[in-house]
Amino acid sequence: MYYFALVFPFIVSLLPKLTKKQKFYLATVPLFIIVIFRVGVGTDYFSYEYLYNLQNVTTFGKMLDHQSNIELGFRIFIFIFKSIGLPFQFFIGFFGAVTLAFFVKWIDETTDSSLVSLILFIGMFFFVWNLSAIRQGLVMAVASYYFFNPQKNLSKKQSILLVAALALFHISVLFYLPIIFLARNVKWNKKTLIIVLGISFVFAFIPWQRVLAHLPFIPGSKKIMGYIDAKTQVLNFAGIVRIAFATVILYHYDKITDSVFKKFMVDSTLLGFAVYFCLKFSELIAGRTTIYTFILCIVVFKYILDHYFLKDSKVLNGLIYTGLACFTGLFLYKDINAYMHQSNYRGPNKLLRFNTIFNRPSYDDYDNRFAYLTVRRNCNDERDELLDSQAALPSSSKYQENLSYYAMWDHESELYGILGTDRTWIVEPTFKRKPTVYGSLVAFTPNDDLKQAFKSTEYLDLSGKEVTEEHIQEALSKDSLERQEITTQALDVKSYDVEKLPESIVNMFPYKDEIISAKYVEFNKPYAYKILDLEYIDYHFFIYVDESFEPIVPVLSNDFYRIAPDGVITVDTYCRQRLYNKDGSLLWQY
């Protein structure tokens, strides 16, 4: 499907009776099908799915505090999608479609619906920047549309505001400011650009690792060395492609800069190449920052090819299209192979299949830590099984003093009932509003519209005792005292040696070496327990353990809560909350 998407514009170009614009938009149909329906495709697909499932969206405030290492704009979109109950597939499809729409509209308005530019985009940028790096891809698409579009003319204030907004999705957008400023305010010509490119090329050969090793007194030198590649490869595939592109563009410079906008596009592209070689000491930084100007090549090369297409030669035009097909096909092949390697694909297929929501891939085919963490051993299937089992829980009107009772939301009836810790309903789901349980006393609002409007509270005693004002005050005071004792316990965070973690905990993680640190907090109310905070990869998971650090509940939680006075433990999984009894048995799945 991916190679078909590249070939399809060539086929569309041969169709009669269609206008240029109709052919252009028809050629984008396979691209939209891919971005909306694909599953598991894109180097970062699994990590984005993991982040989406992990994000706390209980309240907007908790969203702001959670995963603060991720840009705020991205988390806000996650908050919106998860708050209305949409799964990750809707989120990734929406992001991909919006990004692609901006790219397509930009190419249409900048190149007059050029299929050549669209083919270059599909071969060189679509797979990585539309299917994988979705945050930076969105930034690139929107910024390209507004900053490098002859139909748009943003003021300085508007440009800064746009950069500020896009920085909420990826901070590298700041790269646009110096490039646009230099391209617009400096009178560049072919000679000065050759000099700048020459200096940057020489700059790329400086062995910065060795230089900084002899300059330890420079502030931050050690930190900078952490970003420098052990060996700078100037003439790798990415470097050779940019050298070739710069050479071709400079050769045609005078012919393709016959308007102010074209000159701005060409100068920005060449300045981007210069910055790339200056940053060549770190291939990651160089590639990620200058991709914003590298994508301009799909427009600039259209200018160059137009110069040759004007010549009425079928042979020449045929050679150009053949070269275009070979080059973009090779580039796309490189990106697909890189994805299969970087995602640690271990499946039986040597060629990348078009996996969709209709033929979902097995996550077991990927030796990928995020794929493992996302699935968490079929979390949703397990949740469905637990919900089904809860639909058949027994009832008993007999109150038992050795049990605790909870107000639970029943998924099927959409009502609240009172459930004992033995998983037996003492009051079947009948309440529209959640009751409050104080030992054997239950405070509830009757299912009466008028009483609900005035929040009228009534009481019943599960043990059958008579409900008196004295009984109510005694129950409320006892509950308040117990909760106060729990909430006033000091939080004394202590470190724990990762090497001493028991196997029962270590085996919960697929990559034991990725457990970076362990800390814990001790509590003695309502009984002695600890909450263990494990930093795994870049994220924190919490486990409730006993005094010997063995799990009370053998489930990783995304958040932690003090154990309630009646001993019930709350665990946040990817698939909603679960409640456990103090003996580790499951009480309820939300």
DSSP state of 476: H
Q: Flag whether pLDDT at 139 surpasses 90.
A: yes
Do 460 and 510 belong to one domain? no
Return the amino acid letter for 219: P
Over residues 325-335, the mean pLDDT reads 87
C-alpha pair distances (Å), 257 with each of 89, 266, 267: 44, 7, 9
Do 400 and 473 belong to one domain? yes
**What is the rounded CA–CA span in Å between residue 313 and residue 551?**
76
Do 338 and 445 belong to one domain? no
* Site of tokens 């299912």: 447
Q: Is residue 198 part of a domain?
A: yes
State the pLDDT at residue 221.
47
Please answer whether residues 355 and 343 qualify as being in contact, where contact means their C-beta atoms are separated by less than 8 angstroms.
Answer: no
Q: Among the three residues 488, 513, 543, which one is the final residue of a domain in this structure?
A: 488
State the pLDDT at residue 457.
84
Q: Is residue 424 part of a domain?
A: yes
Over residues 208-216, the mean pLDDT reads 60
Return the percentage of the chain with pLDDT > 70, whole number: 87
State the pLDDT at residue 112.
84
Q: Flag whether pLDDT at 510 surpasses 80.
A: no
Q: pLDDT tens across 86-124, in order?
A: 888 899 999 999 999 999 999 999 988 788 899 999 998
pTM greater than the 0.95 cutoff: no
C-alpha pair distances (Å), 338 with each of 135, 180, 312, 331, 343: 19, 31, 39, 11, 8
Do 51 and 90 belong to one domain? yes
Do 252 and 338 belong to one domain? no
Q: pLDDT tens across 568-590, in order?
A: 888 887 667 888 888 888 888 88
* Residue 394 domain boundaries: 384-488
Q: Is residue 42 part of a domain?
A: yes
Q: Is residue 409 part of a domain?
A: yes
Do 226 and 92 belong to one domain? no
Q: Where are the alpha helices (DSSP H) in 186-313?
A: 190-204, 208-213, 221-225, 237-251, 253-256, 260-278, 283-294, 297-309
Q: pLDDT tens across 24-76, in order?
A: 999 999 999 999 998 878 778 888 887 887 777 778 888 787 777 788 888 89
State the pLDDT at residue 369.
64
Number of domains comprising the chain = 4
Do 203 and 333 belong to one domain? no
State the pLDDT at residue 526.
85
Q: Is residue 316 part of a domain?
A: no
At a CB cut-off of 8 Å and minimum separation 6, what does 380 contact? 575
Q: pLDDT tens across 190-200, in order?
A: 999 999 989 98
Q: Among the three residues 320, 345, 378, which one is the final residue of a domain in this structure?
A: 378
What is the chain's mean pLDDT, rounded? 83
Over residues 527-547, the mean pLDDT reads 86
Tally of CB atoms within 10 A around 518:
21
At a CB cut-off of 8 Å and minimum separation 6, what does 237 contact? 334
Do 100 and 119 belong to one domain? yes
Q: pLDDT tens across 487-504, in order?
A: 888 888 999 999 999 989
**What is the rounded CA–CA span in Å between residue 371 and residue 309?**
47
Q: Flag whether pLDDT at 220 surpasses 60.
A: no
Over residues 256-267, the mean pLDDT reads 90
Q: Among the three residues 467, 488, 509, which one is the final residue of a domain in this structure?
A: 488
State the pLDDT at residue 489.
81
Q: pLDDT tens across 2-19, in order?
A: 888 998 988 888 888 888
Do 482 and 508 belong to one domain? no
Q: Is residue 236 part of a domain?
A: yes
Q: Roughly what angle, to the nearest 10 degrees, separates helices 134-147 and 88-111?
A: 30
Q: Is residue 318 part of a domain?
A: no
State the pLDDT at residue 316.
66
Confidence label for 263 from pLDDT (cuts 50, 70 and 90): very high
Q: Flag whether pLDDT at 237 surpasses 80.
A: no
**What is the rounded CA–CA span in Å between residue 166 and residue 292?**
13
Q: pLDDT tens across 355-408, in order?
A: 777 877 776 667 666 666 665 545 666 777 777 777 788 888 888 888 888 888
Q: Is residue 97 part of a domain?
A: yes
State the pLDDT at residue 280.
81
Closest to 138 in 3D by CA, of 110, 179, 101: 101
Do 358 and 473 belong to one domain? no
**What is the rounded CA–CA span in Å between residue 172 and residue 561?**
37
Do 483 and 584 belong to one domain? no
Do 551 and 523 belong to one domain? yes
